[in-house]
Homo-oligomer: A and B are copies of this chain.
Amino acid sequence: MKKRLFTPGPTTVPESVLLKMAEPIIHHRSAEYSELFAQINKGLKYLFQTENDVLTFTSSGTGAMEAAVVNLLSPGDRALVVRGGKFGERWAEICLAYGVQVEPVDVEWGYAVEPQQIAAKLQSIPEIKAVFTTHSETSTGVINDIETIGQIVKQHPALLVVDVITSIGTHRLLPDQWHIDVAVAGSQKGLMLPPGLAFASVSQKAWEAAESSKLPKYYWSFSAAKKSLAKNQNPYTPAVSLLVGLKKSLEIIQEEGLEKVWARHQRHARATRAAVRAMGLELFAKNPSNILTIVKIPEGIDGKLLLKTIGTKYGVTMAGGQAALAGKVVRISHMGYTDDFDILTAVAALERGLKDLGWHFELGSGVAAAQRVLTEENGREL
């Protein structure tokens, strides 16, 4: 049976990238590697649309989140954390683990944060050193308005640190224009790579904060990474094979062009949403991201059985809900190496799974709706 992955990370890795990573491995302390890493670093600046350094870590995305906290702050510092999903909560957990005082802005799951809440919090607690938030919250399918948040935070001494793990290379994102000080990303999402690499772009303002940061750090040290970066090297042995793949995946993105990559994801999200609605299903996110579509499982349908059916009978892997949403939603990713026909496949598999479980709807309504959106000139949503 053909296997297809529609999970929000890891996402499908293009065949050309898989084959590149299967070439004989090279040694990292070599001119050949430094040349490769130099090209990667150029590509990362394009991907991040930034003039700032982009640092690379061998870790999950969570590692780069921890790196941001430990390089920017000192014990007892106060940090605003937007908690509107599992990944926003992770910022708070990391801060607390390091003795950073969390000033939460709590947001109901499924909703975007209201930028004015951040403005109000910054005004009432001027000591806040950093604002930690999430661009695309993968647990809720919500996109936050980082552009507006950036306008607010830049009027304040606080740093703006954004988890762009799922939005980089998928969603319109302009870290420099939006005044993001540190954007953290991972390899297994829009970059179409296996997990194992994480990234952090670091602004001048963030470098200045890093100089006075007193939290302990070694592996995550921004300054160690920067020192090595000057020689196109890494402080510790990097995940060489993933970096070889990264060079290729950055080339794929550059060839398509970021604007087109963003537009494709938007079109695919619109088609998926239209399909879901046409089938009589409900979306979970009120401010849906273009990265994944979260569908509420209708009354009377066993969510876990639905995912299992779609997976084992049709070879299509989607993700279930996390934390409070476990068993209640299906998360369909349209991230990375995805074309129009993949979207139809995902919708078709969802239709068949729901039919098998006895949900009443017009079979084919989903794929037809998706097909209409996908073939519209501008991909307008129905």
Contacts and interface: CB of A to CB of B under 8 A. Distances in A.
A26 B317 CA distance: 9
B60 A10 contact: no
A49 interface: no
A292 interface: no
Please tell me the size bucket of the interface on A.
35 or more
A27 B236 contact: no
A97 B18 CA distance: 38
Nearest to A17: B22
A22 B24 contact: no
A104 to B, nearest CB: 17
Contact of A242 (B30, B194, B237): B194
Q: How many copies does the complex hold?
A: 2
Q: Which of A5, A93, A241, A242: most chain B Cβ within 10 A?
A: A241
- What are the 3 A-B residue pairs with the smallest beta carbon separation, nearest first? A196-B239, A194-B241, A22-B22
19 contacts: A7-B27, A10-B26, A13-B24, A22-B22, A25-B194, A26-B317, A29-B319, A30-B317, A58-B58, A58-B196, A61-B237, A62-B218, A93-B218, A94-B218, A188-B240, A194-B239, A195-B237, A196-B196, A241-B242
Interface of A: 3, 5, 7, 9-10, 12-13, 18-19, 21-30, 58-63, 66, 93-94, 97-99, 186, 188, 194-196, 215-219, 236-242, 311, 317, 319
